[in-house]
Copies of this chain bind each other. A is one copy, B any other.
Amino acid sequence: MRAVLHHGERDVRVETVPEPVLTEPTDALVRVTLSCICGSDLWPYRRTTPPEEPSRIGHEFLGVVEQVGADVRTLRVGDLVIAPFKHSCGECEFCLRGLQTSCVRGGFYGTPEEAGAGQGEKVRVPNADGTLVVAPVGVDDPRLPALLTLSDVMATGHHAAVAAGVGPGSHVAVIGDGAVGLCGVLAARRLGAERIILLSSHPDRAAIGRTFGATDVVEVRGDAAVERVRAMTDGLGVPHVMECVGMQGSWDTALGIVKDGGRIGYVGVPNGVTEGLALGRIFRRNVTIAGGVAPARAYLPELMADVLDGSLDPSPVFDLELPLEQAPEGYAAMDERRAIKVLLRV
């Protein structure tokens, strides 16, 4: 089968790899119909040290169940399923509490021995019952791109909003105008936020942000952004801040604009956060820091319900659509910020 392989710095290729097979009775084999490229896929893509050997990549996909193990109870061959970006058993304490990302039996797709990942024609999904969510739609449904976002990016934006404590009437700032930040805007609006300040210096992204619910856009960066947001909020800052980048600069902005007693909900993978979080900057101000890797599986049912009833549509974050074979062009487009997020048709 065909799949994307990461060879080295800015070098991904679509090549022929062995097909995965069922190995555990709780596995399912999924034929991927839609996949996409995540902002976090760009970190290995940009890394100057190549992997020891070409490695599979990708963790967002949906597709059709092709085969199930003997112990799989809730899935049937032919089901269209959405895969959260990590698999999880559905039965441990963490899964039952909605923190499937900490599942004691869960993990990422593929193992060191048997490569496997979302940017390819098929995926072996361990813990299939606990992981996959059946979408009651056909393979030609126009809502599939929107449903695919629930695999990671929309779930992650939602997690930022939940972690930041966003609710009806909230005043919110969103740091990051990538796909996650934009989904964060959508999530904040969905949760009832009244004012949503999006920090975005890219007019095209800001435009999507406005259609997603941003009431204000701050197009300057760094200290100027902190000053601007403070000026917009009587000098006091914003009670709910969503940090959707994960760099030192975005954290500095988050700490600069958050109101005393407020919450920073963060979902940006810490990358280039060189100094650690300066506790001295928040101690006197009682700022809460919450978030982390999003338990997409926990949020999938409620978000899917909203996609299916038409009240939620994150699909505009996909501004470039390519066949799997052109994945390398998709990576380059996202790397060069020519595209926000690339949908791959498999």
Contact = CB atoms under 8 A, between A and B. Distances in A.
Interface of A: 93-94, 97, 99, 101-102, 163, 236, 251, 260-261, 266, 269-270, 273, 275-280, 282-293, 295
Contacts of A93: 236
**Tally of this chain's copies:** 2
A217 B261 CA distance: 32
B285 A280 contact: no
Nearest to A280: B270
Contacts of A283: 266, 269-270, 292-293
Contact of A102 (B102, B163, B260, B279): B260
Secondary structure dominating the interface of A:
mixed
Given A277-B277, A286-B291, A99 B270 contact: no
24 contacts: A94-B260, A97-B261, A101-B284, A101-B286, A102-B260, A102-B261, A102-B285, A102-B286, A266-B279, A266-B283, A270-B279, A270-B280, A270-B283, A276-B276, A276-B279, A277-B277, A277-B279, A283-B292, A285-B292, A286-B290, A288-B288, A288-B289, A288-B290, A290-B290
Which 8 pairs between the two chains have the least Cβ-Cβ distance? A276-B276, A102-B260, A277-B277, A286-B292, A288-B290, A270-B279, A99-B261, A289-B289
Contacts of A276: 275-279
Nearest to A274: B276
Nearest to A236: B93
A269 to B, nearest CB: 7
Contacts of A270: 279-280, 283
A275 B273 CA distance: 12
Contacts of A295: 286
Nearest to A287: B292
Given A273-B280, A276-B279, A261 B293 contact: no
Contact of A284 (B97, B279, B280, B293): B293
A137 to B, nearest CB: 30
A249 to B, nearest CB: 14
Contacts of A291: 286
A273 B270 CA distance: 19
Contacts of A279: 251, 266, 270, 273, 276-277
A270 B277 CA distance: 12
Contacts of A260: 94, 99, 102
Contacts of A285: 102, 292
Contacts of A102: 260-261, 284-286
Nearest to A102: B260
A266 B287 CA distance: 11
Contacts of A99: 260-261, 286
Contacts of A284: 101-102, 292-293
Contacts of A94: 260-261
A163 B279 CA distance: 15
